[in-house]
């Protein structure tokens, strides 16, 4: 007698895309409690799918003897894909009873599409260098209830990158997973530019795409360098030697080569020439070098050639600049080359010119001049002769030569004056050292004459015949402490000189003298008014005195310049025009212009002009010459070695003063100035004579417009 009784609710079941169910009734015919279970198998199905294609409720049932239990079976999916009729066996069994009952069920399946395979990349982003081996793992899941033969294809990368081609084949059971690997090795840098390379993994079954596409990428890292070279390492200009000067030469050409042995494309390579005093040009200005390519540029270098000397070396530092800085720089980062430049004059010409120059230098060195500070310079009425007196105790005679080629065109001072002889040498004449402080011709240059007066530091004064060199001592040096700083005369009969703190008037014919200013003030500069009736004296503490040579009121003090330091301040220049316009300067740089007629009438008025003083430099000397009616040129020499020219219109009511030019800028201060206007049929110019601290006597020429 059987222990199990069982029936099913149907023997045929239709299945489409939705789950379907049926019941299995089981009866316990044994005398004991028993546990019952139900299993389904499909003829021809993949054994690996197990029972995942159906569900069972309950999975196990324990009932007593004579009792009944029901199992609800739900078909979830077709156990075999592509079949319309599937024979299913329903097995009923017990854990305690040996009996087994089988039921047959026909499963009528409507057409159901297969499920897509799941393709997965555990790692979807990679970064490698060319020639490095890379494994790309791929995982595929089969959600179907049958075994599939899958072909995986890697799309997007060149086939030569993949070691075993672009396809992999997997046999994946129902509900199972499969794994495979694509081995990738990018080729050498020449064929593998750096950048992002995307790829796609696709799954095919029977040549039909049956999986979701999976994307990944490979980042090829930059590697390699750009080799940089220059040929030749040095150039010489001109390239060929010649016995004659070569003025037109071709530039030196350097070949620049850039060999790109990297996987980085350089689309804009430029060149910078550093630490160069040459003119350089790159042809073309920039270039392009892709991986594996070579770029050639040209660098043309020129240099303005010097006239004299040996060939000179000019280093050139060439530094390239890359457009893609992932490589940072070239190898090497810069190159040094040399440009050698020969002078314009060949060596034999240089030697010839050197010999000529040596002769000229020796001749220049042989020119005699003063050995110490020049205290006084003066023109004669006819320009020549020119006299100069110096701290070295000598009076020298010069000749103006402004039309010499080297003076006129090259403005070489050595050729503007010609030294003639020494008219007085105190050591030879007296055996004593005695400075020459002043050398003066007659102040009225309209009267010809070759007599000059010499004033010395010892207080001695000498009348000198320049033509015969006859000397007459008119003032002895008994009062050695009373030095003579200035002398003036209009007729050679009466002379005036500042001797220490005295302004003395000497009548040469009867040898009588008198002190015109009973003041304890050192006298430095003197000038006569145009009518010769008054003398103006200036000196220490910025004092200026007016002395009437004919009146009873012999002198009066004029407070024209401010006093800051009575021991240091001093008047350095006094000049007066034909209509009594007075120019006064001091050692602090103050220059003022006055209507002196008012000073003669009583009290001086406000100045017609004042520069309010130049804080940076003082004025040591001034000179004045008439140019046209009431038109004058004024020249000043200052403590910085500058000689400045001014023009002005002398009017008793106003003065129009204009700066013209700085005609000289010498290394040491100007100590003395004289000026003369030379107007002939061939010349209209100012001749400016100066003496300076550096013992030089100079002649500057300023040409005037007609």
Domains of the chain, residue spans: 4-109, 118-220, 226-341
Which pLDDT band holds residue 166 (cuts at 50, 70, 90)? Answer: very high
Q: Which residue has the higher pLDDT, 691 or 274?
A: 691
Tokens of 32: 């004991």
CA distance 521 to 547: 14
User: Among the residues of 68-108, which ranges form H helices?
Assistant: none
The pLDDT tens digits for 316-344 are: 999 999 998 888 888 999 999 999 988 88
Highest mean pLDDT among 38-42, 174-178, 238-242: 38-42
Question: Which helix (DSSP H) or strand (DSSP E) does residue 56 occupy?
Answer: strand 54-57
Q: What is the dihedral of CA 177, 178, 183, 184, to 10 degrees?
A: -40
Which pLDDT band holds residue 552 (cuts at 50, 70, 90)? Answer: low
Please provide the CATH number assigned to the domain covering 226-341.
2.60.40.10
- Residue 387 in this model has a pLDDT that exceeds 90: yes
The pLDDT, as a whole number, for residue 615 is 61
- 3-state SS class at 700: strand
b/e per residue 285-309 (b: at least 16 CB within 10 A): eebebebbeebebebebbbebeeee
- Residue 83 in this model has a pLDDT that exceeds 90: no
Neighbours of 102 (CB within 10 A): 11
E runs forming strands in 322-392: 335-341, 374-380, 383-390
Q: What is the mean pLDDT of residues 260-278?
A: 89
Which pLDDT band holds residue 150 (cuts at 50, 70, 90)? Answer: very high
The pLDDT tens digits for 392-443 are: 999 999 999 999 888 888 777 778 998 999 999 988 888 888 899 999 987 5
Measuring CA to CA, which residue among 664, 668, 617 is closest to residue 373?
Answer: 668
232 preceded by a cis bond (ω within 30 of 0): yes
For domain 4-109, the CATH architecture is Sandwich (2.60)
Measuring CA to CA, which residue among 438, 450, 442, 444 is closest to residue 377?
Answer: 438
Highest mean pLDDT among 59-73, 108-122, 432-446: 59-73
CA distance 562 to 544: 11
The pLDDT, as a whole number, for residue 102 is 92
The pLDDT, as a whole number, for residue 653 is 84
Which pLDDT band holds residue 307 (cuts at 50, 70, 90)? Answer: confident
Q: What is the mean pLDDT of residues 557-569?
A: 88
- Residue 238 in this model has a pLDDT that exceeds 90: no
CA distance 588 to 638: 10
- Residue 500 in this model has a pLDDT that exceeds 80: no
Angle at 648 between CA 703 and CA 628, to 5 degrees: 65
Tokens of 463: 């009348």
The pLDDT, as a whole number, for residue 304 is 87
How does the average pLDDT of the chain come out, rounded? 88
For domain 118-220, the CATH architecture is Sandwich (2.60)
Q: Are strands 234-237 and 335-341 parallel, antiparallel or unpaired?
A: parallel
**CATH fold match for the domains 4-109 and 118-220:** yes
- Residue 444 in this model has a pLDDT that exceeds 80: no
Which pLDDT band holds residue 247 (cuts at 50, 70, 90)? Answer: confident
CA distance 585 to 572: 6
- 3-state SS class at 408: helix
Q: What is the mean pLDDT of residues 296-305?
A: 91
Measuring CA to CA, which residue among 362, 323, 390, 343 is closest to residue 242?
Answer: 343
Strand partners, 152: 168, 203
The pLDDT, as a whole number, for residue 564 is 87
Q: What is the dihedral of CA 77, 80, 81, 87, to 10 degrees?
A: -90
- Residue 448 in this model has a pLDDT that exceeds 60: no
């Amino acid at each position: 007698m059987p222990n199990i009784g069982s029936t099913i609710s149907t023997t045929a079941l239709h299945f489409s895309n939705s789950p379907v169910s049926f019941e299995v009734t089981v009866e316990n015919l044994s005398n004991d409690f028993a546990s019952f279970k139900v299993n389904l198998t499909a003829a021809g199905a993949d054994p690996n799918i197990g029972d995942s294609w159906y569900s069972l409720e309950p999975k196990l049932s324990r009932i007593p003897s004579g009792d009944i239990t029901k199992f609800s079976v739900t078909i979830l999916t077709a156990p075999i894909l592509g079949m319309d009729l599937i024979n299913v066996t329903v097995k009923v069994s017990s854990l305690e009873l040996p009996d087994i009952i089988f039921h047959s069920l026909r499963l009528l399946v409507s057409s159901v599409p297969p499920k897509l395979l799941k393709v997965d990349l555990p790692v979807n982003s990679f970064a490698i260098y060319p020639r490095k081996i890379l494994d790309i793992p791929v995982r595929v899941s089969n959600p179907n209830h049958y075994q599939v033969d899958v072909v995986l294809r890697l799309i997007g990368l060149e086939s030569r990158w993949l070691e075993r081609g672009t396809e992999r084949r997997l046999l994946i059971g129902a509900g199972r997973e499969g794994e495979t690997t694509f081995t990738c090795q990018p080729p050498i840098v020449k064929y593998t530019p750096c950048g992002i390379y995307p790829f796609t993994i696709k799954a095919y079954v029977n040549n039909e795409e049956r999986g979701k596409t999976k994307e990944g990428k490979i980042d090829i890292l930059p590697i390699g360098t750009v080799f940089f070279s220059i040929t030749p390492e040095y150039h010489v200009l001109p390239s060929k030697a010649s016995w004659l000067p070569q003025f037109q030469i071709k530039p030196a050409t350097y070949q620049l080569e850039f060999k790109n042995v990297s996987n980085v494309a350089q689309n804009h390579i430029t060149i910078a020439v550093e630490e160069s005093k040459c003119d350089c040009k790159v042809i073309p200005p920039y270039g392009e070098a892709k991986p594996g390519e070579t770029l050639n540029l040209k660098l043309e270098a020129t240099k303005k050639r010097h006239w004299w000397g040996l060939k000179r070396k000019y280093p050139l530092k060439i530094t390239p600049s890359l457009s893609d800085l992932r490589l940072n720089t070239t190898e090497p980062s810069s190159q040094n080359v040399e440009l050698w430049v020969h002078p314009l004059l060949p060596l034999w010409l240089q030697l010839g010119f050197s010999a000529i120059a040596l002769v000229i230098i020796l001749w220049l060195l042989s020119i005699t001049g003063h050995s110490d500070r020049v205290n006084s310079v003066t023109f004669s009425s006819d320009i020549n002769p020119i006299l100069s007196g110096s701290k070295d105790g000598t009076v020298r005679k010069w000749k103006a030569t402004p039309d010499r080629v080297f003076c006129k065109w090259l403005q070489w001072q050595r050729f503007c004056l010609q030294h003639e002889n020494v008219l007085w040498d105190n050591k030879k004449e007296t055996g004593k050292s005695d400075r020459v402080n002043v050398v003066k011709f007659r102040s009225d240059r309209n009267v010809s004459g070759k007599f000059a007066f010499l004033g010395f530091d010892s207080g001695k004064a000498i009348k000198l015949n320049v033509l015969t060199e006859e000397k007459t001592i008119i003032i002895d040096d008994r009062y050695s402490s009373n030095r003579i700083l200035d002398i003036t005369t209009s007729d050679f009969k009466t002379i005036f000189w500042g001797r220490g703190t005295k302004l003395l008037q000497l009548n040469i014919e009867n040898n009588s003298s008198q002190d015109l200013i009973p003041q304890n003030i050192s006298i430095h500069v003197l000038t006569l008014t145009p009518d010769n009736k008054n003398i103006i004296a200036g000196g220490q503490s910025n004092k200026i005195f007016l002395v009437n040579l004919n009146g009873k009121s012999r002198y009066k003090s004029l407070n024209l310049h401010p006093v800051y330091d009575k021991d240091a301040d001093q008047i350095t220049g006094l000049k007066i025009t034909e209509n009594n316009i007075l120019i006064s300067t001091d050692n602090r740089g103050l220059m003022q212009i006055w209507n002196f007629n008012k000073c003669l009438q009583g009290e001086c008025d406000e100045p017609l002009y004042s520069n309010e003083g130049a804080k940076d430099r003082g004025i040591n000397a001034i000179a004045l010459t008439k140019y046209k009616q009431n038109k004058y040129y004024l020249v000043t020499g200052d403590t910085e070695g500058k000689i400045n020219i001014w023009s002005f219109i002398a009017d008793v009511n106003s003065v129009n003063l204009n700066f013209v030019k700085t005609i000289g800028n010498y290394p040491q201060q100007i100590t003395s100035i004289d000026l003369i206007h030379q107007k002939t049929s061939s010349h209209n110019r100012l001749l400016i004579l100066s003496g300076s601290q550096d013992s030089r006597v100079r002649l500057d020429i300023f040409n005037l417009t007609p």
